[in-house]
Amino acid sequence: MSGQSHEPFNPNLSLDTRQPAEPGDPYGLVTPRLRPKFQDRIWLHVLLFALTVLTTNIMGQGHYLGFTADFGELNPEGLPDWPVRFLQGFWYGGTVLVILGAHELGHYFTCRYYQVDASRPFFIPALGFLAGTFGAFIRIREPIPSKRMLFDIGIAGPIAGFVFVVPALVIGVAMSRTVPLPPDFTGYSLGEPLLFQGVVWAIWGVIPDGFSLNLHPMAFAAWFGLLATALNLFPIGQLDGGHISYAVLGRGSTRVTIGMVGVAIGLALFVSLSWVVWSTLLVVMLLVFGPRHPPTMDEDVPLDPARLKLALFALVMLILCFTPNPIEVLDLVRGPVG
């Protein structure tokens, strides 16, 4: 009788399939190579974060100047000095980074808890884009073995981000102000999720005709956080909502994925062109990775009642944060009153 010796199990190591095979073992079946988990190129994460701080701050400066102009023209002679503008940019930039960071760290620390190898957050700078960033993500570098782990990792991000979105929304809307729209106004109109509408009504009541809420930059950052939360909670493929849907429905989540991609395409064709980019990305993801979620080892085991209640809460978050028409160009031309 012969046997094979095995290394003792170490939760801090994971199988490394990226290393070349050893001679005589071309597939790495006899001598699998292990590597430490949670190892990152810290310089890359720091660089991307610093660039995203810069791009969101630049956009935040513009949002703050627009806020002080009250839908009017900016007076170049009245602009504050650069250091003051830089600090003002953090009303938006700092808020949006906290929301995005909380979301991704929710995923990351849950992965750490379950010893599922994952990267630290990658922030994506986007100079010139209205938000100043395309968001952030973590990379999970090994399969998630159970539905319970998958569910907890998937839902942790939206809940962590939501915890920061709500107070930012309340404070930002409270610092906003209602102002009359000028006779000729061209700008952006933001779609209002249900949660946004509720907070505005609770603080400002019904806004009179001819007036609009001039959003403070913190409120705009919270609005962007609501939109990002809704998009991530779409029950599609590898999105957070896709993880939650698979953990709850198992193989039935494939039909949900296909149906929700159809919904996104319908929104782009019949409701708002602002959905075109997002629905295109979803279609590409569907073509590249397929409609079925990667299986876990306990695919047919149902979730416990507590997690099913959390899944219902995720659905409520999606409903509260969703808007069918996120952004549209508003061009008002009104004649004199009288």
Q: Which domain holds residue 103?
A: 42-333
Residue 13 in domain: no
Residue 137 in domain: yes
pTM over 0.75: yes
Residue 186 burial (C-beta neighbours within 10 Å; 0-12, 13-18, 19+) = exposed
Structure tokens given for 199: 């907070």
Count of structural domains within the chain: 1
Residue 25 in domain: no
Residue 1 in domain: no
Q: What's residue 272's pLDDT?
A: 84
Residue 338 in domain: no
290 φψ region: left (φ > 0), alpha (ψ -120 to 50), beta (else): left
Q: What's the CA gap between 186 and 329, in Å, rounded?
A: 7
Q: What's residue 190's pLDDT?
A: 83
Residue 121 in domain: yes
The DSSP result for 83-149, as a single string, is HHHHHHTHHHHHHHHHHHHHHHHHHHHHHHHHT--BPPPEEEE-TTSTTSEEEEE--B-S----HHH
- Amino acid, single-letter form, for residue 322: F
102, 161 contact by CB (below 8 A): yes
Q: What's residue 329's pLDDT?
A: 61
> What percentage of residues in the chain have a pLDDT greater than 90?
57
Half-sphere exposure of 79 (CA within 13 A, CB side): 15
Residue 117 in domain: yes
Q: What's the CA gap between 303 and 160, in Å, rounded?
A: 21
28 DSSP assignment:
S
Residue 256 in domain: yes
pLDDT averaged over 10-residue windows placed end to end, the chain, 338 residues: 40 50 49 71 96 96 89 71 89 97 97 94 90 92 93 97 97 94 72 94 90 92 96 93 94 92 91 86 88 89 94 97 82 40
pLDDT tens for 181-217 read 777 666 677 889 999 999 999 999 998 888 889 999 9
